[in-house]
Each structure stands twice: as structure tokens, then as C-alpha cells.
A and B are shown apart, each in its own frame.
Chain A
Amino acid sequence: MTAYLRQARVALILLALLTVILGGIYPVAVFALGQGIAPAQANGSVVKADGAPAASSLIAQQVPEKDSRFFFPRPSAVKWDPASSGASNLGPSDPALASGVAKTRAAVAAREGVPESAVPEDAVSASASGLDPDISPAYAALQAPRVAKAARLSLADVQQLIREATTTGVESALGQESVNTTTLNLAIGARLGGSSGTGR
């Protein structure tokens, strides 16, 4: 018993001292290095619009359902709110998954004015994080005509903005080619304001 008590004392002191190093000095040092080397990334890759923080380029933003001027991100199990994160966790054989997908597919097809068979898979499936800002090039292409019309931009302009928000090269090869709706929508928003000179 005394052997255990002696060990417990050693354990307690070492745990406390190691906590100071591993739970205090280490994260704070990494924080300092991060702020010095790559402050933009270390602070959440925040991008500005009109001089004020508008979004994190890594995180999806909800687009009002009636607003046709922007690209919609993928469905989200957490309503695109970064106060939480997560997936639907519906199993592949779950009837709730099948019925949810069918409903979303019909809604997207109606919104874009295309047959249901033209709706890409990422448009009807919820992401793992619920905060995925990326959509497939196919889903972006599907939305482009509607966005161009509502935002009063030429289709060619919108397609150019899509290209600018699309991953390239090795990044696409190691994952999938993706279009970032958050940065894309900010670029479109800037064009909206630019033409009238007022912004919103």
C-alpha cells in the first residue's frame, strides 16, 4: 500500500509539472509562432468585404432560400452554423436518408429548372462537418445560369468567377475538384455593389 501511495505522490507531481509544459507552454508557443508566421490562417482564414470581416473562407455560409443571386452550399446537418458541427449520421440503409434525399433533389431541380436526373450528388447529401463550403464543379455549373440572371451578370462572368473559386492541380488530385461557395458568393456580392457603386 505504501508503495502505491509513494507512486501516487510521484504521479501527482509529474502530472502537474508536465501539464505546465504540455498544456501551457506548448500551445502558447505554437500560438505565438502561428501569429508570427501565418496570422491569417491561424485566425481562421477570415476574409473581408467592404473592410469588415465577412466570412471564413473555410466555412460555408447560409444563403437565404429566396435569394437567387448566390450559389447554395451543400445541405448541412447543423444549418451552416459554426457554433456546432456534424453530420446527419444516417446509415446507408436508413429510410430517412432516402426520403430526405428525394425531397432535396426535387427542391433543387425545381429551383434550377432542370430534371431531377440532372441534380449532382453533392447537392443532395449533407457533408460530414455541416460546414463544408465546397460544391462540385457540376453543381456550380448547374447553378450558374440562375445566378447570372438574378445577379444581372453575364454567364461568362459568372463562369470566370467559378473558375477562380475552383481548386486546381495537386489539391484537386489529392481530394476532389471543388468550388468554394463562400469566396465565390463574396466575389459575386462585390460585383453587385461595384456596378451601382452603393454596396449593400
Chain B
Amino acid sequence: MKYSWWSYGTQMAILLVLLGVAHRPLGMYLHWVVEGAVLEGKAGEGTRQNRVERVLFRMAGVSPEREQNWLGYARGVLAFSILSVLVVFLAMRLQALFSTEGLGAVDPWTAMNTAISFVTNTNWQVYTPETTVGIAVQMVLLAVQNFLSAAVGICVAVAFMRGLTRAGTDRLGNFWKDLVRISLRFLLPLAAVSAVLLIVAGVVQNFWATPVHNPYTGAAQVVPGGPVASQEAIKLLGTNGGGYFNANSAHPLENPNSFTNLFEVFLLLVIPSVLPWVFGRMARDARQGYTVLGVMGSLWLLTSTAMAWALAAYPGLGEGMEQRLGPAASGVFATATTLTSTGAVNAAHDSLPPLAGGVALFDMMLGEVAPGGVGSGLYGILVLAIVTVFLAGLMVGRTPEYLGKKVQAKHMTLTALYLLVVPIVVLVLTGIAVMIPGVLSQASAQGPHQFSEMLYAFTSAANNNGSAFGGITSSGPALSTMLGIAMWLGRFVGIVLILALAGAFVTQAVVPKSAGTLPTHGGLFAIMFGTVTVLLTALNYLPALALGPLAEGILK
């Protein structure tokens, strides 16, 4: 299919305008949800509980005003997430008891992988939704985790921002209060409005299938139904990505036309791109937020352009693309979905031209920071800001500082560990997987593309993205388990390290600025910051990329 640069430019321009318009109002609202005191003018005033929250907290026995230190906060995150995995797993195993469609229990390996996948905000789909999970599982388990895993990500980002911006305390906030407020006051209304807009534009939302019969051609079909729009909205807003249907956002009932397509790209970018504004407000220095946003935005524009070039220079036949969308709209979606840890797809990534598939892979390898998953993108990129400050400090021979906090050995240890977790998980597990013949053969292609399929799977899992080179069959005990481990470690080892880092910063006093303080805003810092981000990725992954998509691109 012919690539249209004009269509690409139009889509990017519209996205920039929409994201720009939403930025400040949504940022102010989210800041009020997590910190209170902005809309109502008085400190603490905005965090008054409404009736629903009061009932929730009383029944659960939570004192929302009692703040936790980093360990307490981490305990809450882990307890909630482990319990969620168990509940989703058990309910999927018991599907036969309540499925209205007559679907049976989900295979234990699939159920385990799926439970981890949705709780870690990955939404890797080892199952085929149409034949494996019914309305009840999708609506009551999976879509709920779409909200909650996204809310957990924002909670951790907020706790980390508090760690950087508070001083002389060890308290990071109350996890339960943050979780409930972010879910009910922020994600829920946004999802409801988006879902209704999606329905008006053509997305299905009912609870039944409709048999149809074409009297002229004789075609008889059953048009599927289900609570699709309500799940689609939070799937994108929460950077989750698990499709109601197997074809995900390529399915005409999930993404019926080029308008919904662009709106869906907007939805998956909007929350991660608003969080830097919240950061600027919490740091009481808007420039800090805009610098982070600038780095995220530049990486987005650069990788989008690289994707556009890869699709324009090596056009395919359109295999795995929808006619109504075409290569330009597929490329814009593919870049946004791999940069944000969403992993929804509107085209089959496996069939993309080799270098375009390579760009999608590289986007995930950036560590999901441009703008990244909801919450995880912000804390991920702030870690890279700390590394940049540290490197700059080494160059000029001063103790590095970020937002007035001295960056010391303990901070750098946690930062380095955070940055190493995902690459180690990806590379070690991919290495193991390709050495086991029975596992390697689950990737259907031959030669370098087979390696790409496996590398893509583990990169996607450990970065909690969830998109796939679909030629891989990830069911079966060995690969389901390895991918489940990758998702779990990639998410929660990172989160515990981030909260520990927040705990290490929050107790520190703020050092007053001096003439020698490196400013952490503005163009010079942003360029260093962006360079560090790309270089770290390249150093970690170039050898692996050379064996996969680069080799394939050269051989072609």
C-alpha cells in the first residue's frame, strides 16, 4: 500500500493540537485528585471524601489520612496486586460455573499468564478472546484490572514525585486513598466520556450477538457483541492494550474508522503526557515538567518519523493492515502503542516491513518512557533524569542534585538496579528461550525473523507493553511461565526499587540552590537527558537488534 506523508502529517498535527488542549486542564484536575488544594484554594480541602469513598474506606477499614512510609506503600501495592492475580486466576479457572456463553475453564497456564498480564498492565494476550473468555471474564475481571493496574502505575508515580518534592518526612502518601481516588475520580469519568464517544463513532456496546443473513449472497454470520466500548476506552486510557477481540484495535467493531483510530491514539497518549505537568506542579517549578515533556515529545516525534520513513521507504503489500487505515495510520498507532506500554495494535506488527518492526521493537526497548505507560512512563523517565544529573555531576566534578536533593551512592545503586532489571530479564530470558528447541519453535518464522519474534515477545512482556509479533504461539507451560515471570519482574521489581528510591529521597532536606547547581530544565539539559535515554537503550540492546530486525532488513 502506498504511504501518504500528507496523511501522516495531518494526523500528527491533529494529535499535537488535541494533546496540547488537554494538557493543562487535565493536569490540574489530576493534581487536584492526588494532592487536593488546587481547585478549592485551601490545602487539604480538595481531598475531602465523597460518600462512595467514605463507604469504601469504612468497609475496608482504611484510615485514608494516615500516610505510609515507602515500605508501607510498597506493601499495599504488592498485597493488592498479588491478590488481584489470585482472584483473576481463580475466576478464569472457574469460568465454566458462570459463563453464559457455555465457555469452559481456562487452561491453567493461560489463566496464570493472563492474570499476571492484566495485573502488571501488560495485557499480553496468550488467549484468543473470542473462544476463551466470555463477557463476564472480560467485563468483571479484565476490564477492572485495566482500571486498577493503571491506577497502581499512577499511584507509584505520584508517590515517587512526593519523594522528590517533600522533605523532612518519611511519608509518601496513603496507597489505598490514592488508588481509590485515581480510579474513581480520574480514570472512571475519563473512560465513561471516551466510551460514549467511541459508541457514537461506531464501536459496539451491548450484551448479545446478532445473527445476520445476506439474502443476496447467502452469507450467514453472527455479528459479535459485548461491552466493547467501555473496555476499549480504559484499555487505551490506561495504556493496557488487551483487546476485546483477537484482532484488537484492528477489529472493525473496536476501531471502525479513521476517526476512531486517531481518537484511540489520542486516548493512549493523553494520560502519560499529562503526568509531567503534574510533576511540574508538585515540584513548584513548571519548567521541570516541561523539560520532561520535551524529552518525551521529541522522542515521540523522532521515532514516529523513523517509523514513517521505514514504512514509506520499504512499502509492503499491506499484509496485516486494514484498508480503511493504511500504512500512515498504522504507523502512527504502532509508534504510540509501543512507546506507551499500551500494546494495542491496529495492524499485525509481525507483518510490518523489517525496519518498521525494528522501530516498534526499539520503541519498547527505550523502556516505555516517551511518554510511557500511565505512571510507569513518568517514574521511568525521572530515573533517567537522575542518571543524567549524575553523569553531568561526574563531568563537572560536583555532587549531583535533582530538585535540590543530593544524589548519593544509595540513590545511584537503586537507580542502576532499576535500569538493569528489564534489560537483564529480556536478554537472559530470550537467550534461554532460543536455546530450548521446543520453545524456539513456538515462534513460527524462520531465520532472523524467528529470533525477532522471540525477542519482541520478551521485550514486550518485561516492559509491560503487551503487543506481539503475532506469529509466536505463546501458550504451553514453558513459554507462558517464562513470559509471566518477565512481566512480573519487569513490573514489580521496578516498582519496589522506585518506592525505595522515593523513600531514600523523601527523608532528605532540600539543599539551597547555588551558582554551581546544574539547572535541570531548559534545552541543554533536555538534550543531554534525551541522549542518555537513547544511548542507554542502544548499549543494552544493539547486539540483539542486530541479530533480529537489522539482519532481516539487510538480507532483504
Proximity string of chain A (49-74) to chain B, C-beta cutoff 8 Å, 1 when within and 0 when not: 11011111011011110010010001
Residue among A64, A121, A190 making CB contact with B218, cutoff 8 Å: A64
Contact of B48 with A by CB under 8 A: no
Contact of B350 with A by CB under 8 A: yes
Neighbouring B residues of A121 by C-beta, 8 Å: 1, 317-318
Residue among A4, A42, A52, A126 making CB contact with B205, cutoff 8 Å: A42
C-alpha gap A159/B212 in the complex (Å): 27
Q: Is the CB of A92 within 8 A of B556?
A: yes
A132-B83 contact in complex given A24-B140, A91-B449, C-beta closer than 8 Å: no
C-alpha gap A53/B320 in the complex (Å): 29
For this complex, 29 residue pairs linking A to B, each with C-beta atoms less than 8 Å apart, are: A9-B61, A10-B76, A10-B176, A12-B83, A17-B55, A26-B188, A27-B231, A29-B192, A43-B225, A44-B253, A49-B216, A54-B215, A62-B217, A86-B470, A87-B250, A92-B352, A92-B556, A97-B351, A122-B317, A125-B318, A127-B322, A129-B247, A133-B252, A174-B11, A174-B329, A175-B261, A189-B217, A193-B216, A200-B216
Neighbouring A residues of B251 by C-beta, 8 Å: 85, 129, 131
Could you tell me which residues of chain B, from 28 to 61, have a CB within 8 Å of some CB in chain A? Answer: 52, 55-56, 59-61
B185–chain A nearest beta-carbon distance, Å = 12
Contact of B293 with A by CB under 8 A: no
Contact of B210 with A by CB under 8 A: yes
Q: Is the CB of B317 within 8 A of A124?
A: yes
A126-B319 contact in complex given A174-B10, A200-B216, C-beta closer than 8 Å: yes
Contact of B483 with A by CB under 8 A: no
Neighbouring B residues of A132 by C-beta, 8 Å: 252, 322-324
Proximity string of chain B (329-364) to chain A, C-beta cutoff 8 Å, 1 when within and 0 when not: 100000000000000011110111110010000000
Interface residues on A, range: 35 or more
A19-B179 contact in complex given A52-B213, A91-B445, A126-B319, C-beta closer than 8 Å: no
Could you tell me which residues of chain A, from 155 to 173, have a CB within 8 Å of some CB in chain B? Answer: 167, 170-173
Residue among A14, A56, A91, A193 making CB contact with B223, cutoff 8 Å: A56
Residue among B79, B219, B322 making CB contact with A129, cutoff 8 Å: B322
Contact of B408 with A by CB under 8 A: no
Residue among B7, B196, B211 making CB contact with A37, cutoff 8 Å: B196
Q: Is the CB of B140 within 8 A of A23?
A: yes
Cβ-Cβ contact count across A and B, 8 Å cutoff: 376
A127-B250 contact in complex given A34-B229, A37-B200, A93-B552, C-beta closer than 8 Å: yes
Interface residues on B, range: 35 or more
B244–chain A nearest beta-carbon distance, Å = 10
Contact of B95 with A by CB under 8 A: no
C-alpha gap A63/B219 in the complex (Å): 7
Smallest CB-CB separation from B243: which chain A residue? A85
Neighbouring A residues of B471 by C-beta, 8 Å: 89-91
Other A-B pairs, 14, CB within 8 Å; known A10-B176, A42-B206:
A26-B191, A34-B206, A35-B206, A56-B253, A64-B217, A85-B245, A85-B246, A91-B453, A93-B445, A97-B319, A128-B347, A129-B252, A178-B324, A186-B216
Interface residues of B (CB under 8 A from A): 1, 4, 6-7, 10-11, 14, 52, 55-56, 59-62, 75-76, 79-80, 83-84, 87, 128, 130-131, 139-141, 143-144, 147-148, 176, 179-180, 183-184, 188, 191-192, 195-196, 199-207, 210-219, 221-225, 227, 229-231, 245-247, 250-253, 256-259, 261-262, 316-326, 328-329, 345-348, 350-354, 357, 444-449, 452-453, 469-471, 552, 555-556
Contact of A150 with B by CB under 8 A: no
Q: Is the CB of A128 within 8 A of B217?
A: no
Q: Is the CB of A13 within 8 A of B323?
A: no
Q: Is the CB of A128 within 8 A of B345?
A: yes
